[in-house]
Structure 1
Amino acid sequence: MKYEWLDEYCLSKKGVEKDFKVEWDATRYLIGGKMFALQGGDKNNKAITTLKCEPQFGKFLREQHQHIVAGYYMNKEHWNSVYLDGDVPDDVLKEMIDMSYESVLNSLSKKKQKEIIGA
């Protein structure tokens, strides 16, 4: 895999938990019990990571990068999948991870957010 730092980067965020969903054969990264990143494979077993993005930004990314596609097996408007053997720049993938994390964190109750970020 080209993005060896991906697991460590996701886990470096506050309150992140990681598990393996056997039925999906995929690793999930969760915040407050909600998934913000998924690392697994497509129907051809090509390694992908799937992240939540603001719909317009996700569409823009798919137009700019051939290795970013609408979320595999997810809501195509809000989720995007990145092929991990592709050429998406590290900074773009990190921005997508950050956006996904923030989006899911902000969807949690204010109480839960405070518990997670410690504010």
Structure 2
Amino acid sequence: MDPDALRKICLSFPGAYEDYPFGPETAVFKVRAEAAGGGRNGGKVFALSSMNTKDGYVNLKCEPGLAVQLRAAHPEITGAWHMNKAHWNGVKLDGALPVGMIRDMVEDSYDLVVAGLTRKQQEQLGWTRLGGARGQ
């Protein structure tokens, strides 16, 4: 998967935006919703990615039990560098994993982050807790 395809997936979620706080090599994808007081929060990270096509990877949030299972089953998935390895996976984007699987992991990461927002923010994003997925 190339960086543009990953960017398209990450930005497809409500409230998602791209930031470069660490320089042009690393894209940080965050979700942001209106805060209860009408202001905007700084956003919550759900994906970080090298934008280098040669060494593509993405760090994604994951439930700890599932993270262990994914790492055991797929050598392309490891504990994410510079992140809490219990909650974040590093995923190589070298074509070995199916695009649909990567898309699902990105969506799971987004859902885990949005689940931590206030109910009002979740509603503004069109996300519902029932079924653990965003509303359609």
Smaller-chain TM-score range?
Answer: 0.7 to 0.9
Deviation at 1:72, TM superposition (A): 1.3
Q: Which residue of 2 aligns with 1:5?
A: 5
Distance 1:18 1:47 in 2: 17
Once superposed, what is the RMSD of the aligned Cα atoms? 2.2
Cα contact 1:52–1:80 (8 A) shared by 2: yes
Cα contact 1:67–1:86 (8 A) shared by 2: no
AA in 2 matched with 1:70:
G
TM-score with structure 2 setting the length = 0.76
TM-score with structure 1 setting the length = 0.86
Please give the residue correspondences for 1:1-119 in structure 2 after superposition, counting only pairs within 5 Å: 2=2, 4-23=4-23, 25-32=25-32, 33-40=43-50, 46-117=55-126
AA in 2 matched with 1:95:
D
Gaps of 5+ in 2: 33-42, 128-134
Cα contact 1:38–1:51 (8 A) shared by 2: yes
Name the CA shift for 1:23/1:3 in 2 (closer, same or farther; >3 Å): closer
Cα contact 1:37–1:52 (8 A) shared by 2: yes
Task: Give SS of 1:46's match.
Answer: coil
Identical residues among aligned pairs (%): 34
Task: Give SS of 1:39's match.
Answer: strand
Distance 1:24 1:72 in 2: 18
AA in 2 matched with 1:11:
L
Aligned residues: 116
Deviation at 1:24, TM superposition (A): 8.2
Cα contact 2:26–2:48 (8 A) shared by 1: yes
C-alpha deviations, 1:16-63, integer Å up to 9, x for none?
01111235841011012000001127xxx8321000011111111111
Larger radius of gyration: 2
Deviation at 1:117, TM superposition (A): 2.0
